[in-house]
């Protein structure tokens, strides 16, 4: 099945054309500066397209060339917020599109763009099945005691304030691959998975399902990230509010000027590691804060799942930074974690074990591939719906 995977941002459109059975990528690309019109910034760049529909027209040629005379079977959209309703990928129709739109207040930067992407495709290829794959869906199995915040009930009932969790497509995909690597049926797989990219989250997996996750109402809660603070005492915001900070000031401070950037002055893990190795004390402290915080979550989730059978690292930092992995593992001696220094340093794009045979908890590196997971989920939904009565 040939699937076009679309990841629409507010001003960007990322795409991949995938042959699901062959597991191959036929084309991929990115259109930026959508809606920023009259680019004309003199650097030779083409003007940004007016909207997502115009962005699609720009990439249409490349997609057709990649298809080489074959036709697309479906489109799979990464949709950030599925709220409480969506626990699985779904075939899109008008009612589903409106339901995604109603979730806009929960993900104001992302869901409106996802809806624009869906409508642009529906207009261009009205007969092509579209599937929405939600970042929150995998976490719909969280028990209520894990998703509830201890605040007055009306915040949940009137405003939907609860833990939703994100990165679900990645956590689910990685859980399946890690279970396969260890030869454990996924429904018996208990683990802690750390997805460490620019955004980072850690998930407690019991019986292959998510039972807790560090991101919450928004993707800000939890770990120290590239530019996001993760957990902090909420009274800090009250304090700053009283001192005159606006909601926008707080939002920008927490989401764009905190995390590694706030602590070390740089949001890129590679640069922070290099600076720390060259003797920069702020960078070394940023790594200590980030690895300590992750180690605390791993300890907590080990308890939550009743004894994890594996610790799994994934995404940009998890897959590539042997330095960060070893800083985290060094804090996990109480769990019986022991990395094999040689295996940890070796780079590969294959899933692999990096702990010693004597490590009580095996430690794995499993590359994530959200586009592949979206393409496979899309193909499965379309196959199911075409046999339905």
Asked if 198 touches ligand ADP (CB under 6 A), the answer is yes
Is 135 a known active-site residue?
Answer: yes
Asked if 121 touches ligand ADP (CB under 6 A), the answer is no
CB 132 within 8 A of CB 78: no
Asked if 274 touches ligand ADP (CB under 6 A), the answer is no
Catalytic member of 135, 190, 212, 369: 135
Q: Closer to ligand ADP by CB, 208 or 316: give it.
A: 316
Cβ contacts of 253 within 8 Å, gap of 6 or more: 240, 245
CB of 107 to ligand ADP, least distance (A): 16
User: Cα(71)–Cα(73) distance, rounded to whole angstroms?
Assistant: 6
Identify the residue among 82, 199, 219, 230 touching ligand ADP (CB under 6 A): 199
CB 203 within 8 A of CB 210: yes
Q: Which residue is nearest to ligand ADP (CB)?
A: 316
Place of tokens 């057709």: 64
Asked if 226 touches ligand ADP (CB under 6 A), the answer is yes
Asked if 280 touches ligand ADP (CB under 6 A), the answer is no
Asked if 270 touches ligand ADP (CB under 6 A), the answer is yes
Q: Closer to ligand ADP by CB, 14 or 85: give it.
A: 14
CB 222 within 8 A of CB 202: yes
Using CB under 6 A as the binding criterion, the count of chain residues that bind ligand ADP stands at 12
CB of 317 to ligand ADP, least distance (A): 4
CB of 174 to ligand ADP, least distance (A): 12
Using CB under 6 A, which of the segments 79-87, 132-140, 194-202, 378-386 binds ligand ADP?
194-202
Identify the residue among 197, 219, 222, 259 touching ligand ADP (CB under 6 A): 197
Q: Closer to ligand ADP by CB, 2 or 315: give it.
A: 315
Q: Closer to ligand ADP by CB, 73 or 369: give it.
A: 369
Cβ contacts of 218 within 8 Å, gap of 6 or more: 107
CB 224 within 8 A of CB 263: yes
Site for ligand ADP in 59-118 (CB under 6 A): none
Binding mask 154-193 for ligand ADP (x = CB under 6 A): ----------------------------------------
Site for ligand ADP in 294-323 (CB under 6 A): 315-317, 320-321
Cβ contacts of 388 within 8 Å, gap of 6 or more: none
CB of 199 to ligand ADP, least distance (A): 5
Asked if 266 touches ligand ADP (CB under 6 A), the answer is no
List residues near ligand ADP by CB under 6 A.
197-199, 226, 268-270, 315-317, 320-321
Q: Which residues are catalytic?
A: 135
């Amino acid at each position: 099945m040939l699937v076009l995977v679309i990841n629409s941002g507010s001003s960007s459109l990322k795409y991949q054309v995938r042959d699901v059975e062959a597991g191959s990528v036929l084309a991929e690309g990115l259109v930026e500066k959508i809606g920023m019109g009259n680019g004309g910034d003199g650097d030779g760049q083409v003007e940004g397209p007016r909207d997502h529909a115009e962005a699609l027209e720009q990439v249409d040629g490349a997609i057709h060339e990649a298809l080489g005379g074959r036709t697309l079977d479906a489109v799979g959209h990464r949709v950030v917020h599925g709220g409480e309703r969506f626990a699985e990928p779904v075939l899109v129709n008008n009612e589903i599109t409106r339901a995604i739109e109603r979730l806009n207040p929960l993900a104001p930067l992302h869901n409106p763009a996802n809806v624009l992407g869906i409508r642009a495709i529906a207009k261009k290829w009205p007969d092509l099945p579209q599937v929405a794959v939600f970042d929150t869906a995998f976490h719909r199995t969280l028990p209520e005691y894990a998703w509830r915040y201890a605040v007055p009930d009306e915040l949940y009932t009137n405003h939907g304030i609860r833990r939703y969790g994100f990165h679900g497509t990645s956590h689910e995909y990685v859980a399946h691959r890690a279970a396969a690597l260890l030869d454990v049926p996924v429904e018996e797989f208990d683990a802690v998975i750390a997805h460490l990219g620019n955004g980072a989250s850690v998930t407690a997996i019991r019986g292959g399902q998510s039972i807790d996750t560090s991101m919450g109402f928004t993707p800000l809660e939890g770990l120290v990230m590239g530019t996001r603070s993760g957990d902090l005492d909420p009274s800090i915001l009250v304090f700053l509010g009283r001192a005159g900070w606006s909601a926008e000031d707080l939002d920008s401070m927490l989401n764009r000027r905190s995390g590694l950037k706030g602590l070390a002055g740089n949001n890129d893990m590679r640069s922070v590691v290099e600076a720390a190795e060259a003797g920069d004390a702020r960078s070394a402290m940023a790594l200590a804060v980030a690895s300590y915080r992750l180690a605390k979550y791993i300890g907590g989730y080990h308890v939550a799942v009743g004894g994890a059978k594996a610790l799994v690292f994934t995404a940009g930092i998890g897959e590539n930074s042997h330095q960060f992995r070893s800083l985290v593992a060094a804090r996990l001696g109480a769990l019986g974690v022991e990395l094999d220094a040689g295996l940890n340093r070796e780079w590969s794009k294959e899933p692999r074990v990096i702990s010693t045979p004597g490590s009580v908890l095996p430690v794995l590196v499993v590359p994530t591939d959200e586009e592949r997971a979206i393409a496979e989920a899309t193909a499965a939904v379309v196959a199911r719906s075409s046999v339905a009565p």
